[in-house]
Amino acid sequence: MAEHGQAPGTGQPKGRPDRAADRRAEAGAATPPGSRPGAAGDPPSRRAEPGRPRDHATGGHDTAAGDANEHPGSLRSRPERYLVAPTGWATLTAPGRPGATDPAADGQHLIEALQRNPDLRVLRVIRSTEPQPTGVPVYRPFPAVAVVEATPEQASVLAARPEFHVDIDHPLTQDEQLPPEANTPGTGTLDDAVPIRFQVHDDRGEPVPDAVVLVHGGRYPVVARTGADGTAELTIPAGTLDAVRGVYVRPRADLWSTVIERPQLSGTEPNTVVCRRLDTTPGERHGDAWARRAMGFDRLPPTYRGHGVRIAVIGPGVDAGRLDAAEGIMGGIDVVGQDDKSWDQDMVGRATHHVALILGHDGDQLVGLAPESEVHVCRVLPGGRLSDLIEALDYCIAQEVDVIDLGAYAGGAAGLVAYKLEEARQAGILCVAAAGDTGGPVMFPGTVPATLTVGAVGQLGTSPPESLHVSQLCGVPTPEGFFAARFSCAGPEVDLCAPGVGIVSAVAPDGRAALDGTGIAATHVAALAALILAHHPDFRYGYGMRGPARVHRLAQLIRGSCRPLLGADPYRCGAGMPDAVVAVGLVPQWAGSPEAAFPPAPAGYGYPSAQTAAAVRAAGLLVPETDE
């Protein structure tokens, strides 16, 4: 988290900006002659034409090298996208001060200059400026931002001019976990290929339709989906069956995934794969029970339900009709489609998972972590970019949400987005960001000081040994069986960790699924933040007013409640895993010794159970024998 009252990259104090009543993107100026539909100046109704993607690249000015020599209609490289804004947007100024300029005028001059350039295409303009209080020094309002298509050379020319600030408009993503060797190159040829068949059924012998079958090794991966009879056929290079390193089967719902390493495949007979049902795991009625116990949600009073706290979930959307607790979903926005209604459609089938963790679903007997909170949904996936994240953050500021659950991330940074996150912090919003699921350095915006960045952990013995979740183990588990997730991004920016491996929740259009991801870990922390705001005494008295001090105290309480994970990588786990009972103020926080920091541990908490010890040994790790 950034220090109190500082803006990213400036080290200077920043005042609280006014909240906008409506901060949707709007057109900046009349469309110049010859420009295409969708450029700046189009009315909002034209920005998302039915049946047509917003970033359709046909027609208009050519921006790719060699376009003049291409045949009409032939496939060509798409141009890059950039965020362009007037400079000086992160500086301190004062009304009437010599040299102070009008941000709206600056933005308008910038848009006009860009539109006069025949080599650039202005896709849209994001405006979120509002009048600031008069008579006191304030930070300039957020500038008008033009989303521009250009070549890297043209963007370099713009960035070299002192009046322009240029960021790459990186795509947003939320990665799906694959087996560790799925992307390992191998041998083989693409000249000749043979089909291989798979038959997928559950542990009751029933066929599993709509399951993804991934074969990796050789010139792979190759993917297919099972039909109604549970069969799938894939085509692989001839003579390379022995080069296959693994088979991964991911059912759509109600079943655990299955990973088979070094499979003995048949090229003539169907290869049968069995997936266990979620409700047949020994000792676990619901797969998310371990996560509740790990963070102490199960030890909270039943009246702690986060009543009235507003959580914004920024990600792929939600199937509102899927949840029995849909009345807790107060509204949303589809930034990618520029639509106020389509946010309640689950575009990926599993986006409902995060919202269901917060609100719960009585039909599946899954109890939400903060079931009386008010959830707003901002859809930025699939297909969203950092420019869409700016609009989503504008919506959150306008709606006065309290906590942002940000599960989407990008591979590159943008100063404009970092400044918008700081603006949200100044408005009293805690942004809980996923560290990322690539296994590399922390992804943006988890690197921004204004965010609380969360890594993912799992626990041995909570999923079947043949499932993908077991292969996510990284390093040596703690005595309780907790381990850092292999996919969780690492770095000094990680503040803490939370359950994010094998977490069961509702998915669309029906059923449940066990999923992995740092976005799921961030959802657990966002729900905990809602409980703190609703029930911790500090927010009924000293920190009731919205502002950066409120956010700082909230993050301080969450970090202060963390129980360190012994032996775990601090770059993946940060300060450790929060304890909900400590965080909401029912137990005093750390006061000089670990014993004073946390409630007495349950019997046997510091020693592995027989089941955990067996799972550790099965993973090839040596642990001491436990006394019977």
Position with higher pLDDT, 574 vs 323: 574
pLDDT above 80 (res 67): no
73-82, 180-189, 430-439, 599-608: least confident range: 599-608
Task: Please provide the DSSP assignment of 293-359 as one string.
Answer: HHHTGGGS-TT-S-TT-EEEEEES---GGG-TTGGGEEEEEETTTTBSSGGGS-SSS-THHHHHHHH
Cα torsion angle, 319, 324, 329, 331, sign: positive
Q: What pLDDT is attached to residue 628?
A: 35
User: Does residue 290 lie in a domain region?
Assistant: no
| Judgement on whether residues 52 and 85 belong to the same structural domain of the protein | yes
Can you give the pLDDT at residue 385?
96
Cα angle value 507/513/514 (rounded, 5°): 135
- Tell me which of 56-60, 356-360, 535-539 is least confident: 56-60
Q: Read off the CATH number of the domain in which 247 is found.
A: 2.60.40.1120
CATH code for the domain in which residue 395 is found: 3.40.50.200
Q: Say if residue 98 is exposed, middle or buried (CB neighbours under 10 Å; 0-12, 13-18, 19+).
A: exposed
The closest alpha carbon to 122, from 55, 178, 23, belongs to 55
The DSSP code for 413 is: -
Closest CA to 420 of 85, 59, 55, 192: 85
Q: For residue 391, is pLDDT > 90?
A: yes
Distance CA 2, CA 26 (A): 31
In a domain, 63, yes or no: no
Residue 262 lies in a domain: yes
Mean pLDDT, rounded, of the chain: 78
Rounded CA-CA distance 487/102 in Å is 46
Q: What is the mean pLDDT of residues 539-546?
A: 86
238 burial (CB, 10 Å; 0-12 / 13-18 / 19+) is: middle
- H, E, C per residue of 84-150: EEECCCCCEECCCCCCCCCHHHHHHHHHHHHHHCCCCEEEEEECCCCCCCCCCCEECCCCCEEEEEE
What percentage of the chain carries pLDDT values higher than 70? 73
Residues 134 and 226 in one domain: no
Domain shared by 158 and 210, yes or no: no
What count of other Cβ atoms lies within 10 Å of the Cβ of residue 379? 30
Q: Are residues 254 and 357 in the same domain?
A: no
In terms of domains, do 418 and 496 share one? yes
340, two tokens = 């106020």
Q: Are residues 445 and 308 in the same domain?
A: yes
Highest-pLDDT range among 25-34, 131-140, 191-200: 191-200
**Count of domains forming the chain:** 3
Residues 276 and 308 in one domain: no
Full DSSP string of 477-544: PPTTSEEEETTS-BSTT--EEEE-SSEEEE-SSSSEEEE--HHHHHHHHHHHHHHHHHH-GGGTTTT-
pLDDT at residue 405, as a whole number: 97
pLDDT of residue 550: 95
pLDDT tens track for 9-60: 333 333 333 333 333 333 333 333 333 333 333 333 333 333 333 443 333 3
Same domain? For 560 and 478 the reply is: yes
What pLDDT was estimated at residue 79? 84
Both tokens of residue 334?
């589809």
Average pLDDT of 527-531?
98
Give the Cα separation of 464 and 462 in Å (integer): 7
Kindly report, residue by residue over 224-272, the tens digit of the pLDDT. 999 999 999 998 877 777 888 899 999 999 999 999 999 999 888 999 9
Residue 105 is predicted with a pLDDT of 66
Question: What pLDDT is attached to residue 2?
Answer: 42
- CA dist 237 and 175 (Å) reads 27
- pLDDT at residue 542, as a whole number: 80
Higher per-residue pLDDT: 110 or 230: 230
Helix, strand, coil % in the chain, rounded to nearest 5: 25, 25, 55
- Domain membership of residue 614 (yes or no) is no
Query: Residue 603, class by beta-carbon neighbours within 10 Å (0-12 exposed, 13-18 middle, 19+ buried)?
Result: exposed
Q: Does one domain contain both 126 and 265?
A: no
pLDDT band at 610 (very low <50, low <70, confident <90, very high): low
288 falls within a domain: no
**What is the residue range of 118's domain?**
1-56+77-169
Whether 551 and 429 have beta carbons less than 8 Å apart is answered as yes
Tell me the whole-structure pTM to 2 decimals.
Answer: 0.81
CB neighbours of residue 346 within 10 Å:
21
Residue 457 lies in a domain: yes
CA distance 578 to 532: 12
- Report the pLDDT value the prediction gives residue 322, as an integer from 0 to 100: 78
pLDDT of residue 24: 36
Condensed to tens digits (0 to 9), the pLDDT of residues 318-328 reads 887 777 655 78
Number of C-beta neighbours around residue 601 at 10 A: 11
Please state which of the ranges 42-46, 143-147, 327-331 shows the lowest mean pLDDT. Answer: 42-46
Greater model confidence, 183 or 582: 582
Q: Is 404 left (phi over 0), alpha (psi -120 to 50) or beta?
A: beta
605: in domain: no
Residues whose CB falls within 8 Å of the CB of residue 519, separated by 6 or more in sequence, listed in order: 174, 315, 354, 407, 408, 434, 437, 500
Q: Verify that 242 and 98 share a domain, yes or no.
A: no
| Pair (356, 270) in one structural domain | no
CA distances from 241 to 152, 185, 231, 406 (A): 43, 15, 19, 42
Q: Are 611 and 530 in contact (CB under 8 A)?
A: no
Is the predicted pLDDT of residue 474 greater than 70, yes or no?
Answer: yes
Distance of CA 32 to the CA centre of its chain: 37
Give the 3-state secondary structure of 260-294: EECCCCCCCCCEEEEECEHHHCCCCCCCCHHHHHH
Mean pLDDT over 604-613 rounds to 44
Which letter does DSSP use for residue 551 in this model? H
The CA distance from 122 to 169, in Å, is 13
pLDDT in tens, 394-413: 999 999 999 999 999 999 99
**303/280: higher pLDDT:** 303
Is the model's pLDDT at 553 over the cut of 70? yes
- 345 and 405 in a single domain? The answer is yes
Instruction: Find out whether 436 and 413 touch, Cβ atoms under 8 Å.
Output: no
What is the pLDDT, as a whole number, of residue 346? 78
φ, ψ (nearest 5 deg) of residue 144: -70, 135
**Is residue 65 in a domain?**
no
- Determine which of 89-98, 181-190, 221-230 has the lowest per-residue pLDDT on average: 89-98
